[in-house]
Homo-oligomer: A and B are copies of this chain.
């Protein structure tokens, strides 16, 4: 397959930038969600990195961001090339089906027949060339009428991701590696994960969906007719600024909160309409601090990863990850696989093994009314 040098002409990238990333508290907050942070040390946020991957594929004028009203200023600051037309603001979070469904409906109305690709704003990808190749194949599959996803070839029996089971080849033109998706499976236990990886028949579900907007809307209409009607009604008036506001106020809060995986991907897979392109690039959803630590360890688990500009850190016989933005002097002495996240109003100390439990801290803080630090 030739390397992509020009944008895919009928392709539109959609970036739903919604989730807070509770497992990354106190770094991620309601007003500073995960996608606005630089978790890779690249110097730019995950959102900007996502933009930088997609803009060359779709063209700068053809990347849409769906985000909360509260994040508009931050998003526009980080993405100065983002066109006003391509900013879709949610008045409140209604999960991914509403966000992606609305984007699909708006784009289909503006440009009937358009192919859209939805990519999370807060994942990490290394290996742009292989990513581009996978997207190109996915676009070909979408053009043939399928909903295409890109599944990551597992590098280890991860238990933190969902998997995609796919064995049957499709022989689609322009998408030689596409496989029919048999089913999506939830995060497995360690034993099952090992079986998955050994079999070679499972890929990680990275939540990327590439499809004709019309096909996605068609599927949504079958499984979630009210939700479909809602996003189509919103799209009808979206580009009429006088009507958009009242329609959003009226319709958006009524939309069902449901993940796109359940509303579209799984039913489409069951109906034989979903294909997967295996992606041979490094991918991580950086879902918790353990995964950020791994990202920075370069395989050397004995090291301490330090994130934070101008961090004044003294580390002795310590490993894990330290994230700081307070300018304080920080000393770590003899703490292994530690996670320390130091922010002006909140401090977290845990271990990489307990990284998934951070969400329960956020739940507990919410229950006790401590929204000031959430």
Chain A residues near B (Cβ < 8 Å) = 25-26, 312, 314, 316-317, 328-335, 338, 340, 342, 344-351, 353-354, 357-358, 360-361, 364-365, 370, 373
Q: Contact check, B370 vs A312: say whether CB atoms are below 8 A apart.
A: yes
Set of chain B residues within 8 Å of A316, measured between Cβ atoms: 357, 360-361
With beta carbons under 8 angstroms apart, the residue of B349, B358, B370 that contacts A329 is B370
Q: Contact check, B345 vs A314: say whether CB atoms are below 8 A apart.
A: no
With beta carbons under 8 angstroms apart, the residue of B331, B332, B334, B353 that contacts A334 is B353
Give the shortest distance, in Å, between A349 (CB) and chain B (any CB).
5
Number of copies of chain A assembled together = 2
Q: Contact check, A350 vs B329: say whether CB atoms are below 8 A apart.
A: no
Give the shortest distance, in Å, between A373 (CB) and chain B (any CB).
5
A332–B312 Cα distance when bound, in Å, is 22
With beta carbons under 8 angstroms apart, the residue of B330, B333, B334, B347 that contacts A346 is B330
Given A357-B316, A365-B314, CB of A348 within 8 Å of CB of B333 = yes
With beta carbons under 8 angstroms apart, the residue of B26, B332, B346, B357 that contacts A349 is B332
A240–B346 Cα distance when bound, in Å, is 54
Set of chain B residues within 8 Å of A333, measured between Cβ atoms: 348-351, 354, 357-358, 360-361
* Besides A332-B348, A333-B361, A340-B349, 13 new A-B residue pairs in contact (Cβ under 8 A), listed by A number: A314-B365, A328-B344, A328-B345, A330-B347, A331-B347, A333-B348, A333-B350, A333-B358, A334-B354, A338-B349, A340-B347, A347-B347, A349-B349
